[in-house]
Amino acid sequence: MTSVDVADTPPSSFLHYRQFHRGTIPRHALTFLFTLLWTRFRWRVLALTATSVAGIGLMALEPLFLRDLVEALTRFQPGQDIPWPSDIWLPFALVAGAWLLSAGFNRLREWVDLHTTPSLRMEVQTCLFSYLMEHAPAYFQDNFAGRLAQKVKQAGQAAANLLGILFNEITRLIVAIAVGVAIVAPQASIFLWVLLGWTVAYLALSILLARRCLGLSRALSEEVSRSTGVMVDTLGNAEIVRGFARGAHECLRQADAVLREADASRRLRRFLILMWLLMFNALLAFQISFIALAIDQVVSGTMRVGDMVMIFSLAAILSNNVWNLCARFTDLFENLGIIDASLETLNVPHAIADLPGAPDLKVPRGGITFEGVTFRHGDGTPVFTGLGLVIRPGEKVGLVGPSGSGKSTLIRLLRRQYEVQAGRILIDNQDIAQITLGSLNRAIAEVPQDPGLFHRTIGENIHYARPEASWDEVLRAARQAHCDGFIRRRPNGYDAVVGERGVLLSGGERQRVAIARAFLKQARILLLDEATSALDSETEHAIRDALWKLFEGRTVIAIAHRLSTVSRMDRIVYMEGGQIREEGSHEALLARGGAYARLWARQVDGFIADEED
Ligand SMILES: Nc1ncnc2c1ncn2[C@@H]1O[C@H](COP(=O)(O)OP(=O)(O)OP(=O)(O)O)[C@@H](O)[C@H]1O
């Protein structure tokens, strides 16, 4: 048996954006990341920082112990006994102890990281995904699904990368410098100034170069997104490509996109090579001059050999950490850039959202009123100007008219998939702009012309309409929609997976699954947009009685090009150019002899003569 086992309210282990930062997502990458870390990972980040500090802090003490060891060894006369604890064995034990403990803390840090990084990646993705899902349909029309998915995934990965940079590499360098300064300060101020001066200059140079690098890596990321979008678009329409034999053309388009991606990657890599050359030479220059300075001091008698060994070891530790951090600067900016770019695309305000404190819609009767509705699409295409239409509770209305007259848009406005520019739409006297979207969607069942199905089992796809329904109810809905027969003929029956968007089902089968969903949903308002257009006449006849049963006690708006499918409706509304031209019962409209009657006559004489009741 199949069922939908994902709860409507997210479990607390998953971060829904509403549970985070007063229900909003910060605009900037660092604020987003720090707010998330503070609210969800406070203790784990503290543990990461503490183990990092301990790991590097112990390591940075090594020069001090090495100095004492070398000093003791230079004083040692061969043949002498070395008692324990002596000034040789003690510093040696301290060096070994520092190494062992430091390694232990580093492993501990990795263990904490194991329990932090994957969770952080998951939280970023679930948070952004939950926000993304609340965008209005127009947003998804403007953005490729593949590109959006990539933005969510990239942001999760970038956050995971940043965690390492911020709470390991940067922490390590700060501690190494602090311990280094504390060690060299009492020895010789010249080393202190060289050390500090070089570190500051080197970091500043790295930041400058890394920022330039960021621009190039952003350009690369855009090209990657674009070429992914092109690929997803082509793959999604693979049948069309094949049908028009345009495979070679699509390969060229893809090659063009990938070429641009390769160019952007080459520009970034060229810059990185030059950058590393410059930085590596600057690092070598530091090490050489620092040690030369130390040798000079030893030779001139102002420094002992032990101090020189200490300086040598310190320079190695510092340059190691500075190099590690600088190597990560590009990652730092690149990952910040990735999160910024993701937030820029995903974190735009929801075009249609619940007003604060909006109540739920209550639908005791199911009356619908369009009151002076004016609407034009985002690109300026005008559809309605001051449209008025009143549908009584329980009334069955057929919506007909030429293509492009605004029938589907009317339904979309009722579902609040677009916002009207003027006027109001009321359901049982409640303005749909003032109530919660969730309650509006729960009150309406829709059977679209091309129903979307998930790449899940048929059973799950039907159950989706009302997860709390029992399996018996699912089976009953499937029988009522005449799905049961074709489902049971499949080898896996209700457990058969339907393919992406339901491609493994025929158009008519997909429509029947959508009708089964409408049966199961039990909503008071029912919208049908060419709901039976893909059914053959026989199946449509068979299903028609079932549909009328579904209509019982519900307010229905049904769009149809095939007029016979709406001729039994209480009222037929004939639209043209976004205006209601005629309305009345089928008989009244025929008697009137207007546009509807002409259309009816054409259809009866023409290709669907067999459809006449
Ligand atoms: N997302 C959109 N952006 C811009 N214009 C749109 C959009 N969707 C629809 N339109 C335009 O709005 C007008 C009404 O479209 P609508 O889909 O409501 O017509 P229809 O009567 O349902 O047509 P059909 O019978 O062919 O489905 C058309 O001119 C259409 O081109």
Kindly state whether residues 322 and 443 are assigned to the same domain: no
Q: Of the residues 346, 379, 395, which one is the last residue of a structural domain?
A: 346
Please work out whether the CB of residue 382 comes within 6 Å of at least one atom of ligand 1. no
Angle between helices 170-184 and 42-60 (to 10 degrees): 40
Q: Evaluate: CB of 406 within 6 angstroms of ligand 1.
A: yes
Examine the domain organization and report whether 279 and 404 are in the same domain. Answer: no
pLDDT at residue 80, rounded to an integer: 67
The ligand 1 atom nearest the CA atom of 449: 27
Category of 482 on φ-ψ map: left (φ > 0), alpha (ψ -120 to 50) or beta: left
Query: Which residues make beta-bridge pairs with 457?
Result: 497
Q: Does residue 357 form part of some domain?
A: no
Separation CA 449–CA 608 (nearest Å)? 19
Distance 410 CA to ligand 1 centre (A): 10
Long-range contacts from 274-283, C-beta under 8 angstroms, 24+ separation: 275/209, 275/213, 275/330, 278/205, 278/209, 279/202, 279/205, 279/206, 279/209, 279/323, 279/326, 282/202, 282/205, 283/202, 283/319, 283/322, 283/323
Pair 339, 453 in one domain? no
Q: What is the pLDDT of residues 519-544, one digit of tens each?
A: 999 899 999 988 777 677 777 777 77
Beta carbon of 8 within 6 Å of any ligand 1 atom: no
Same domain, 333 and 420: no
Nearest CA-CA partner of 390 in 435, 423, 354: 423
379 lines ligand 1 (CB under 6 A): yes
User: The CATH number of the domain where 75 resides is what?
Assistant: 1.20.1560.10
pLDDT at 217: 78
Neighbours of 302 (CB within 10 A): 12
The CA distance from 573 to 584, in Å, is 7
Q: Residue 383: CB within 6 Å of ligand 1?
A: yes
* Residue whose CB lies within 8 A of the most ligand 1 atoms, among 140, 373, 374, 377, for a mutation test: 377
Q: What is the DSSP string of 227-259?
A: HHHHHHHHHHTHHHHHHTT-HHHHHHHHHHHHH
Per the structure, how many domains does the chain have? Answer: 2
Q: Whose CA is nearest to atom 29 of ligand 1?
A: 404
The protein residue whose alpha carbon is closest to atom 7 in ligand 1 is 377
Q: Looking at the structure, do residues 402 and 316 belong to the same domain, yes or no?
A: no
CATH code where residue 475 lies: 3.40.50.300
**Which of 444, 400, 412 is closest to 565 using CA atoms?**
400
Ligand 1 pocket test, pick from 141, 370, 383 with the greatest ligand atom count within 8 Å of Cβ, gives: 383
Instruction: Tell the residue nearest (CA) to atom 18 of ligand 1.
Output: 406
Last residue of a domain, one of 315, 346, 377: 346
In a domain, 5, yes or no: no
Q: Is residue 405 in contact with ligand 1, taking CB distance under 6 Å?
A: yes
Strands 525-529 and 382-391: unpaired
Residue 585, in any domain of the structure: yes
E-assigned strand segments in 458-542: 525-529
Question: Ligand 1 mean position to 390 CA, how many Å?
Answer: 22
- The reply to whether ligand 1 has any atom less than 6 angstroms from the CB of 300 is no
pLDDT attached to residue 224: 86
Same domain assignment for residues 384 and 342: no
Same domain, 385 and 273: no
Asked if residue 409 has its Cβ within 6 Å of ligand 1, the reply is yes
Residue numbers of the chain with a pLDDT score lower than 50: 1-10, 606-613
Ligand 1: does its nearest atom lie under 6 Å from the Cβ of 266? no
Q: What is the pLDDT of residue 486?
A: 83
Do 342 and 372 sit in the same domain of this protein? no
**Domain-located, residue 6:** no
Pocket test for ligand 1, best of 141, 143, 408 (most atoms within 8 A of CB): 408
Looking from the CA of residue 561, the nearest atom of ligand 1 is 25
CA 369 to chain CA centroid, Å, is: 37
DSSP state of 165: I
Same domain for 238 and 135: yes
Q: How many secondary structure helices (H) and strands (E) does the chain include?
A: 21, 10
CA distance 195 to 290: 8
Same domain, 136 and 223: yes
In a domain, 356, yes or no: no
Q: What is the pLDDT of residue 611?
A: 40
Cα–ligand 1 centroid distance for 519 (angstroms): 27
Q: Which domain holds residue 422?
A: 368-611
Q: Are residues 76 and 149 in the same domain?
A: yes
Tokens of 99: 């190494």
Element (H, E) at 378: none
* ipTM surpasses 0.85: yes
The verdict on the CB of residue 380 being under 6 Å from ligand 1 is no
Alpha carbon of 409 to ligand 1 centroid (Å) = 6
User: Among residues 346, 377, 406, which one ends one of the domains?
Assistant: 346
Residue 131 sits in the same domain as residue 264: yes
